[in-house]
Structure 1
């Protein structure tokens, strides 16, 4: 079967790209942040739910600040006091920004966004919706367990020092941390869908390579290079596509053009993702950065003794703060890791095409079509960014680590 005449064979007619990300959107609906909705116009009930959710969170924030100023802050180090106030105000402002993007931006383009996936999936014969959804659910379970464990551990640590009222007031921070985690996982779910389509394109190109006649009488090397071979990644991705959708490409140049079309549409999908999530993830990452500086500052001050505790329970609160610090770090590392997997597939496409042009005996038309495809991949790279300020890649992790260390040292030295 030619991929141009592909027909989607779904295990269930209800399975679509929207269904794959439904686990995250259902959880985000609790906080009125589910942007992936087909309806453009908000109903009165939805508007009321959004207003009530924002009002409840606003009330929790202001009551928590009031309680801290009246009963807690007199006994807290000034650096911890400042970072705590900044974090709470910032978290609520970020939530309002999230609501704005969800209600006025995300909904308006969600229909176009998912419709384009239908076109891509028809060409590539995507049938792995259940597998994608399973990966997303597994990721959600992991981070929900991490969030719940760190929150409970932290609550118990401060309960042993201040009783149950003060930790309960502080627990509003757990809610906003959950919102940040879910928002990041929602973006990761979209990135995962892009990764799967790009991997299928790379696999098609690789199968095309293996079916072509060699130019040189030498042992085939590409299949022995683990960093280029798609099969070695099966365990890593935990995906078995059963490559019936990746029936080997023939030398039909129209099929290469179709792959170029799919890639171009994926770049448009990435652009929509960057527009929907770029500014939100920028604020989200800054919030997680403030959290990491705050938790590092708290744990260090407890361990060096500059922050006194009501009861002597050792370094238990310091350890709980480090646990929350690691939770924030894991959220950012997970997001960047998914972005890098997409970049890997993009690089893999170019590498396989280079080997094909040099090592295989291709017609002039096939060579030109492949070169055009490679130029498209090179000139229109798939990149995830935060409102065009920063690209989501491994270098961002180094910058974040540097900022956390720098500002922690500044807080420890300049604020006594």
Structure 2
């Protein structure tokens, strides 16, 4: 058996997340970085406090500005000011960012470092070969989301400037910033879902590649699913090995890797569960608000000081589609993980059915 050497210094779990990690660290939403080929913890509490206070000041200023305009809105229902479009959705964004910082502080240090090491341990057992594929997917998601964010925000800003001047839209552009932070949180969560997807995919392929209905062997421990190396299979890998008492054997305990993946899933749920819930609330509030604004401008019930304009209708629908794209992306990747798990169960069912048939024969 010829073992395949893997350059662990350049190909590991962190390698797949490195581009996204660089962006997250700008906003203090990541605490792991690589230095001298070693993963290290680096997170600044002071930086987080500064961010919270600075953004809190801007939120208070915008809220005060909106309250001062309420009388104008009530007395001129036919002429709605720009502040009516916001409806304080940026407050949800501020709260979401604060919660993100808290969960990065709570789960993103020693626990996150252990999370990476566990994945690398699983990969060493399975012989992981999908690092480049995972990295490309994450980079593609990040690039597309940033591109759509810049496009939709720029178009929306110019459309509102055309109707309301540049001062008010510039002040309320903080809403774009919070949308970008929400997008980063969604991409961060999706990137870890992709990690799970490809580990499950590899387990499925190994089961398929090493499964031969004519030579499946019964093992003493029925609680474990074992696959023995065969030359017949859908996937031919150079090596599949585990280290046992200093010697390599051509067998693997798939249940061990699967249980480790369950632990990883528990960590992901702990780190992102509440954050995803807040993201969904923010998503729903913004989509309702944007759809409401686009309808009001389209029907003429909402006009700008410069007169009737349908440009905000187009820009609001564009941002609506941007929010939808981010939410759908998360759902699709979760669905892919579920499908990979289903495929593993199907392969195991085939192995167990064949085992029973062999015993009867």
What TM-score comes out, normalization by structure 1 length?
0.71
- C-alpha displacement at 1:96, in angstroms? 1.4
**1:300-311 pair list within 5 angstroms:** 300-311=295-306
- C-alpha displacement at 1:256, in angstroms? 6.9
Does 2:181 align with 1:179? Answer: yes
| Partners of 2:152 and 2:318 within 8 A in 1 | yes
- C-alpha displacement at 1:201, in angstroms? 0.5
Residue 346 and residue 245 in structure 1: after superposition, are their counterparts in 2 closer, same or farther (change >3 A)? Answer: farther
Greater share of residues in helix: 1
Query: Which digits, 9 at most, give the CA deviation of each residue in 1:159-193, with x for residues without a partner?
Result: 11011111101110000000000011001111111
From 139, 142, 163, the counterpart of 1:140: 142
Query: Which digits, 9 at most, give the CA deviation of each residue in 1:207-242, with x for residues without a partner?
Result: 233x33299xxxxxxxxxxxxxx98xxxxxxxxxx9
From 255, 262, 269, the counterpart of 1:260: 255
Root-mean-square deviation (CA), in Å?
A: 3.1
Moved more, 354-363 or 334-343: 354-363
**Which residue of 2 is the match for residue 413 of structure 1?**
none
Distance (whole Å) between structure 2 residues aligned to residue 39 and residue 97 of structure 1: 23
Moved more, 325-334 or 353-362: 353-362
From 307, 310, 333, the counterpart of 1:315: 310
Does 2:210 align with 1:212? Answer: no
Residue 7 and residue 121 in structure 1: after superposition, are their counterparts in 2 closer, same or farther (change >3 A)? Answer: farther
- C-alpha displacement at 1:128, in angstroms? 2.5
Query: Which digits, 9 at most, give the CA deviation of each residue in 1:4-41, with x for residues without a partner?
Result: xx76513x623321221122222122221114466568
What TM-score comes out, normalization by structure 2 length?
0.81
Greater share of residues in strand: 2
**Which residue of 2 is the match for residue 332 of structure 1?**
327
Residue 207 and residue 127 in structure 1: after superposition, are their counterparts in 2 closer, same or farther (change >3 A)? Answer: closer
Distance (whole Å) between structure 1 residues aligned to residue 357 and residue 84 of structure 2: 66
**Which residue of 1 is the match for residue 166 of structure 2?**
164
From 266, 282, 293, the counterpart of 1:287: 282
Distance (whole Å) between structure 2 residues aligned to residue 207 and residue 73 of structure 1: 71
**1:181-200 pair list within 5 angstroms:** 181-200=183-202
**Which residue of 1 is the match for residue 49 of structure 2?**
51
Q: Per the alignment, in what secondary structure is the counterpart of residue 244 of structure 1? A: coil
Query: Which digits, 9 at most, give the CA deviation of each residue in 1:309-358, with x for residues without a partner?
Result: 22246321011111111111111110010011011111111122223444
Residue 243 and residue 150 in structure 1: after superposition, are their counterparts in 2 closer, same or farther (change >3 A)? Answer: farther
Distance (whole Å) between structure 2 residues aligned to residue 40 and residue 247 of structure 1: 32
**Which residue of 2 is the match for residue 93 of structure 1?**
95
Structure 1 stretches lacking a partner, 5+ long? 216-229, 232-241, 249-253, 365-416
Distance (whole Å) between structure 2 residues aligned to residue 18 and residue 115 of structure 1: 9
Does 2:24 align with 1:24? Answer: no
| Partners of 1:8 and 1:126 within 8 A in 2 | no
Aligned length: 328
Distance (whole Å) between structure 2 residues aligned to residue 80 and residue 257 of structure 1: 62
Residue 201 and residue 162 in structure 1: after superposition, are their counterparts in 2 closer, same or farther (change >3 A)? Answer: same
Distance (whole Å) between structure 1 residues aligned to residue 210 and residue 129 of structure 2: 20
| Partners of 1:153 and 1:320 within 8 A in 2 | yes
Residue 360 and residue 208 in structure 1: after superposition, are their counterparts in 2 closer, same or farther (change >3 A)? Answer: farther
